[in-house]
Chain A
């Protein structure tokens, strides 16, 4: 069951421009959302998160936006850099996840070209 969906398998952006990665979810019980980044041969690395009581969280070049009514979140990277090229996973959790289980999307592969 795909409770977290990342409908774009890949995205290519020029260096210096904005990268926008999208994520949709179906489970209205989700209350905490995260983005992880993954390079080849490495495990996912936590990037940024947002609680359902907020609609925006910013950390340097990375901003996550949450639209609860649309069950949609997005990650903005501005400006994009070649080192940002990686697979980005959206993840979500529900308060009943007492063991802190994460529900991941399939990922979007971002390529930032010079």
Chain B
């Protein structure tokens, strides 16, 4: 069964450094999403992406964040200058058409020290 994959599974970075989290959505999917979950908190929406542009973003998704679909298979989330509070599990999701029934990847645990 096709699935969303994410790399790396765990990323440790120093405060102020740039990180890129990578996702490979399900191959024929056209809508892509990023969410994050800070430890002990709820899963929070960050951004949705369709047709090479952002469809919607939350107030968390400020100028420090950006997304890109650099080729036909990858979908990336970049954090320009990481802060301690960016430490969280980051989930990528995808859907064939715009849908709330989203397919999630296993997540990347980002630890900012």
Q: How far is the CB of A12 from chain B (nearest CB, A)?
A: 20
Which of A42, A97, A100, A104 is within 8 Å of B42, CB to CB? A104
What interface size band does chain A fall in? 20 to 34
User: Number of B residues contacting the other chain (C-beta, 8 Å)?
Assistant: 31
- The reply to whether B93 and A43 form a contact with Cβ atoms under 8 Å apart is yes
> A29 contacts the other chain (Cβ, under 8 Å)?
no
6 CB < 8 A contacts A-B: A32-B100, A89-B42, A93-B100, A97-B56, A100-B98, A104-B44
Q: Quick one: which of B40, B42, B106 contacts A43, CB cutoff 8 A?
A: B106
When C-beta atoms are compared, the residue in chain B nearest to A33 turns out to be B100
- When chains A and B are docked, how far (Å) is the Cα of A78 from the Cα of B57? 37
Using a CB–CB cutoff of 8 Å, the interface residues on chain A facing chain B are: 2, 4, 32, 34, 36, 41-46, 49, 89, 91, 93, 97-107
Nearest residue, chain B, Cβ from A92: B100
Q: Which residues of B contact A (CB under 8 A)?
A: 4, 31, 33, 35, 40-45, 47-48, 50, 54-58, 91, 93, 95, 98-107
Chain B binding surface SS class: strand
The listed residue with most B CB atoms (<10 A of its CB), out of A43, A45, A104, is A43
**Chain A nearest Cβ from B66, distance in angstroms:** 16
Q: When the two chains form their complex, are residues A101 and B48 in contact, meaning their CB atoms are under 8 A apart?
A: yes
A103 touches B106 (CB 8 A): no
List, in ascending order, chain B residues with CB within 8 A of A41's CB. 106
Q: Which B residue sits closest to A103, measured CB to CB?
A: B45
A101 vs chain B, min Cβ distance (A): 4
B100 is contacted by which of A45, A49, A106 (Cβ under 8 Å)? A49
Docked-complex contact A34 and B45, CB < 8 angstroms: no
What residues of B have a CB within 8 angstroms of the CB of A101 in the complex? Answer: 33, 45, 48, 56, 58
